[in-house]
């Protein structure tokens, strides 16, 4: 905690600035060295950065609860299920949902994910460049989302607008009231949309998620109409955002670090491990909030009941105490217990789908466009919060692109 | 070598059955299903990979 020669007040770090989002790892590591458990100068709320502390908190929902007060809500009228409810009820919902998102289940759609990536690449490979986010990272998770939920392609732009309205509303961090209004309106539209879907699938069941949920039971009882709305709300905002963010962060890294890129081009079998290492290094979902249900001491910080703690999983994933040479990106890393998908009972429901989407996208991209760079004179732009690379202009030599 | 899985800790990350498919499988929810407790020498590297990559620390190895 020594702040002897400090010219940086670690407490003044703005975890929600675009500058931080572009390159958070040095800040995390600085926080580990100076104040691994601290209070936010903006909110006064506790911030945890050490792997050990973050993981402990994630595994103890009875102390670090996901059951937020409604003012923390993202335009929702009720908690999203299962993300914003805790065990034991949360466990009952996960028992219904986990089988729908298991690795075996997701393996079945892997060929379609791969074909989808190739169709996208076909669109721009001959142009010798693209804006990566709009051309590739945003569309990558859309197909699987539409297929799993059985929703029409023509509504995709609506869904993308609605999830952005919740996750990164215009005005964002500068205009909290305006952002809250956009969130509430986006939330209202999401509920209304899925009301219609539920009404339709009640009459005409199909092979899709809502039809499945309409038949699902907990303790011998059908789950409620509102439960289904609260699950689909989460699937919409979670299913269309984080894979896009991760793919952008990974590709920006690989564009800027050709020696790492060459390794996966020369040895594509390294890609699954590279995906894990980049998940660790980039951890696009940097922070998760938890409300403290009982007084607890973490490090030398006493945390009171009712406080909202920020768990910096991005910081946890670059903690030297948990990873040898945590500050180095190493695709040969053999021990990697990263928590980019969280830990404990709230482990990301879509993690297996996300891994297939990321791996197939990176394999197909690097097979067909092995050599690329950030367009000279341009700088990628990152959004704060969940680290989406909203502007990532890439260029490559036209002849370098390979046919299917 | 023997391996044990603490099912109280497993939350279905699935790293074990991705990295060590000869020792671990998944159940219907995607949680760990241990295929064998006794690890023959040729599978010991897989056992170590599974243990070293479980974010919950749910896998324990007992060396002979």
> What's phi and psi for A144, nearest 5 deg?
-65, -40
- The pLDDT value given to residue A176: 83
**Pairs across A and B, CB distance < 8 A:** 55
The reply to whether residue B57 touches residue A337, judged by beta carbons under 8 angstroms, is yes
Q: Which residues of B are less than 8 Å from A59 in CB distance?
A: 56
Residues 6+ positions from A365 with CB-CB distance below 8 Å: A117, A121, A136, A251
Q: Which residues of A are less than 8 Å from B12 in CB distance?
A: 98, 102, 347
| Chain B contacts to A (CB-CB under 8 A) | 11-14, 17-18, 26, 28-31, 49, 52-57
Q: What CATH number does the domain containing B44 carry?
A: 3.30.70.20
- The pLDDT value given to residue A73: 67
> What's phi and psi for A132, nearest 5 deg?
-60, -40
Chain A nearest C-alpha distance from B48 (Å):
9
Residue A226 vs residues A106, A277, B42: alpha-carbon distances, Å: 27, 38, 52
> Which of B7, B12, B17 is the mutation pick for testing A, counting most A CBs within 10 A?
B12
Chain B contact for A354 (CB, 8 A cutoff) = no
Give per-10-residue mean pLDDT for chain A (404 aa).
38 77 95 94 91 98 90 79 96 98 96 96 97 97 93 92 89 81 92 96 96 97 96 93 97 98 98 98 96 96 96 98 97 97 98 98 98 97 93 89 66
A298: nearest Cα among A51, A68, A48, A60: A48
d(CA A119, CA A382): 26
The reply to whether residue B28 touches residue A102, judged by beta carbons under 8 angstroms, is yes
Does the structure show a pLDDT above 90 at B25? yes
The reply to whether residue A347 touches residue B13, judged by beta carbons under 8 angstroms, is yes
Q: How many CA atoms lie within 13 A of A124 on its CB side?
A: 18
> Which of A90, A95, A103 is the mutation pick for testing B, counting most B CBs within 10 A?
A103
- The pLDDT value given to residue A5: 33
- Pair of tokens at residue A251: 């590709």
Q: Which residues of A are less than 8 Å from B14 in CB distance?
A: 103, 351-352
- The pLDDT value given to residue A94: 98
SS3 label, residue A191? helix
The reply to whether residue A103 touches residue B52, judged by beta carbons under 8 angstroms, is no
Q: Which residue of chain B is at minimal alpha-carbon distance from A339? A: B55
- The pLDDT value given to residue A359: 98
Domain boundaries, position B35:
2-62
> Which of A332, A343, A353, A356 is the mutation pick for testing B, counting most B CBs within 10 A?
A343
A10-397 has which CATH code?
Answer: 1.10.630.10
The reply to whether residue B11 touches residue A345, judged by beta carbons under 8 angstroms, is yes
- Rounded (10°) angle between helices A225-239 and A156-167: 90
> Which of B10, B13, B51 is the mutation pick for testing A, counting most A CBs within 10 A?
B13
Q: Which residue of chain B is at minimal alpha-carbon distance from A347? A: B11
SS3 label, residue A315? helix
Number of folded domains that form chain B: 1
| Residue A168 CA from chain centroid, whole number | 13
- The pLDDT value given to residue A75: 83
Chain B contact for A21 (CB, 8 A cutoff) = no
d(CA A3, CA A271): 41
Strands A46-48 and A308-312: parallel
Does the structure show a pLDDT above 90 at B9? yes
Domain ranges of chain A: 10-397
Interface confidence (ipTM) of the complex: 0.97
Touching B: A residues 46-65, CB under 8 Å? 55, 59
């Amino acid at each position: 905690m020594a702040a002897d020669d400090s010219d940086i007040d670690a407490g003044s770090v703005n975890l929600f600035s675009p500058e931080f989002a572009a390159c958070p790892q040095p800040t995390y590591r600085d926080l580990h060295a100076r104040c691994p458990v601290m209070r936010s100068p903006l909110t006064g709320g506790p911030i945890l950065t050490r792997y050990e502390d973050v993981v402990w908190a994630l595994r103890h929902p009875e102390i670090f609860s996901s059951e937020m007060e409604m003012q923390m809500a993202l335009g929702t009228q009720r908690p999203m299920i299962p993300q914003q409810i805790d065990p034991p009820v949360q466990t009952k919902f996960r028992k219904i949902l986990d089988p729908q998102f298991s690795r075996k289940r997701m393996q079945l759609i892997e060929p379609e994910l791969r074909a989808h990536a190739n169709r996208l690449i076909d669109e721009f490979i001959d142009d010798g460049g693209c804006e990566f986010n709009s051309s590739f990272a945003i569309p990558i998770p859309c197909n699987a989302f539409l297929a799993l939920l059985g929703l029409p392609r023509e509504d995709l732009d609506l869904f993308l607008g609605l999830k952005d309205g919740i996750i990164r509303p215009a005005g964002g961090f500068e205009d909290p009231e305006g952002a809250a209004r956009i969130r509430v309106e986006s939330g209202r539209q999401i509920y209304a949309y899925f009301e219609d879907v539920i009404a339709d699938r009640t009459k005409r069941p199909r092979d899709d998620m809502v039809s499945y949920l309409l038949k699902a039971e907990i303790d011998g009882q059908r789950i409620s109409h509102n439960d289904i709305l609260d699950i689909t709300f989460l699937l919409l905002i979670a299913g269309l955002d984080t894979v896009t963010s991760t793919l952008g962060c990974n590709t920006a890294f690989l564009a800027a670090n050709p020696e790492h890129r060459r390794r996966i081009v020369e040895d594509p079998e390294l890609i699954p491990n590279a995906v894990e290492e980049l998940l660790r290094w980039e951890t696009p979902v940097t922070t998760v909030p938890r409300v403290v249900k009982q007084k607890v001491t973490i490090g030398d910080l006493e945390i009171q009941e009712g406080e909202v703690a920020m768990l910096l999983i991005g910081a946890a994933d670059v903690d030297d105490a948990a990873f040898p040479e945590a500050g180095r990106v190493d695709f040969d890393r053999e021990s990697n217990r990263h928590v980019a998908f969280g830990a404990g009972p709230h482990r990301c429901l879509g993690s297996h789908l996300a891994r297939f989407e990321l791996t197939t996208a990176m394999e197909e991209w690097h097979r067909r466009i092995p050599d690329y760079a950030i367009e000279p004179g341009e700088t990628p732009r990152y959004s704060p919060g969940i680290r989406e690379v909203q502007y990532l202009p890439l260029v490559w030599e036209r002849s370098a692109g390979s046919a299917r | 070598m023997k391996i044990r899985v603490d099912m109280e800790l497993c939350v279905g990350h699935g790293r074990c059955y991705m990295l060590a498919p000869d020792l671990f499988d998944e159940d219907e929810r995607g949680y760990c299903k241990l295929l064998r407790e006794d690890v023959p020498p040729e599978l010991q590297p897989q056992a170590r990979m599974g243990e070293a990559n479980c974010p919950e620390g749910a896998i324990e190895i007992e060396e002979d």
